[in-house]
Amino acid sequence: MNTLILTRSEVMRLVNPAALIEPMRKAFCDYSKRQMIPGRRFFTPLNGPGDAMILAPGLTPGVSAYTVKVHAKFSDQQPAIKGVLLLHDLQTGALMAVMDSTYLTAVRTGLGAALATDLLANSDAGSVAIVGAGVQGEFQLRYLSLLRPLTRVTVYDIKAARADAYAARLGNELNIPITPCATLASAVADAEIILTATWSKKPILFADMVRTDCHITTLGADQPNEAEISAELIKQSEFFCDDRDLALSQGAIGGVGLSAADITAELGEVLAGKRYGRSKKSQLTIYGAVGIAFQDLVVAWQVYQNARAQDVGRTLDFLA
């Protein structure tokens, strides 16, 4: 089999986020039913300019392929995440495609976060605070706007110029009023939904900063010794995750020294109706995601199918 090679710009052209919502929802449900391999992220510190190298194998029912993602994080560069995704035939192991994983990872992370936010936030919540005006700050807002109407947005970043640029760019794109804020506290004070995606190593959100009925989605804590949400704030919430074990070993729960007892449910359990999500309007809910490789496969499979249908990319015989 010839291997299809796809660049970042080609992946961007081939992704259809709206068409991924239902396949992603189903994959989360299947994952929490344990119909596939457990979430595995093989994490190795790089001990240099790079933060870490991560290998992640992905598998999900209904897709006749598996993926292996080879990733590295360089937090002081743009893009900060660099890597490739390998798509293999599930029956033969043949390498079907090699594609840039930077954009693909941003899509699957933002889409999973948006599904969780829409599910767990109050149904009429429309005011959003963005903490971290980077790639995920953009993708989360874009995809959440596909799922529910948003009335107003505030944005905070430690670099004020990035927040200003974010407000101008996304406000025009989504036709939503977006206000850059000088402080984190002012950005989140009245927000019904808070979306965080930062490089923070210690908590930045505390119980006295947020509404008691808000929902928070935190994406920054996705490797050991990272945290965005304080232990006290998590203790006061119903906390949901993408994977219990990863939340403890590499995510928001382990990052502040909490235990499995502080986890309410996995997102897939709630989506499948096996566990309750938000049970009352006055409740505080938090979703902390590490990221699971089946999400990569869902997006990669769509990209591959669209590439074949549209004759995009070029092929190479690695066995020649």
Q: Block means of pLDDT (10 residues each) for the chain, length 320 residues?
A: 95 97 96 76 80 88 95 82 94 97 95 98 98 95 97 97 97 96 98 96 97 97 92 98 94 97 97 93 97 96 98 94
- Is residue 142 located within the same domain as residue 244? yes
Question: Which domain range does residue 141 map to?
Answer: 112-288
- Is residue 82 located within the same domain as residue 129? no
- Is residue 308 located within the same domain as residue 177? no
Q: Identify the H or E element spanning 106.
A: helix 102-120
Q: What is the pLDDT of residue 35?
A: 60
- Is residue 125 located within the same domain as residue 273? yes
Rg for the chain (alpha carbons), in Å?
19
Looking up residue 192, the CATH number of its domain turns out to be 3.40.50.720
Q: How many folded domains does the chain comprise?
A: 2
Helices 17-32 and 293-310, axial angle in degrees (round to 10): 140
- Is residue 80 located within the same domain as residue 150? no
- Is residue 138 located within the same domain as residue 95? no
* CA dist list (Å): 182 to 79, 131, 164, 197: 25, 12, 10, 17
- Is residue 121 located within the same domain as residue 216? yes
- Is residue 40 located within the same domain as residue 142? no
**Separation between Cα atoms, residue 107 and residue 101, nearest integer Å:** 10
Q: What is the pLDDT of residue 36?
A: 65
CA count, 13 A, side-chain hemisphere, 220 = 28
Q: Identify the H or E element spanning 270.
A: helix 267-271
Decide if 189 contacts 159 (C-beta within 8 A). Answer: no
Residue among 308, 295, 311, 313 nearest 98 (CA): 313
Q: What is the pLDDT of residue 292?
A: 93
- Is residue 201 located within the same domain as residue 127? yes
Judge if pTM exceeds 0.85. Answer: yes
**Separation between Cα atoms, residue 294 and residue 56, nearest integer Å:** 9
- Is residue 309 located within the same domain as residue 197? no
**Separation between Cα atoms, residue 227 and residue 201, nearest integer Å:** 5
- Is residue 282 located within the same domain as residue 136? yes
Residue 150 structure tokens: 């948003």
Q: What are the E-state strand segments in the chain?
A: 3-6, 42-45, 52-58, 65-73, 81-89, 95-100, 127-131, 152-156, 178-180, 193-196, 215-218, 238-241, 265-266, 285-288, 314-316
- Is residue 77 located within the same domain as residue 36? yes
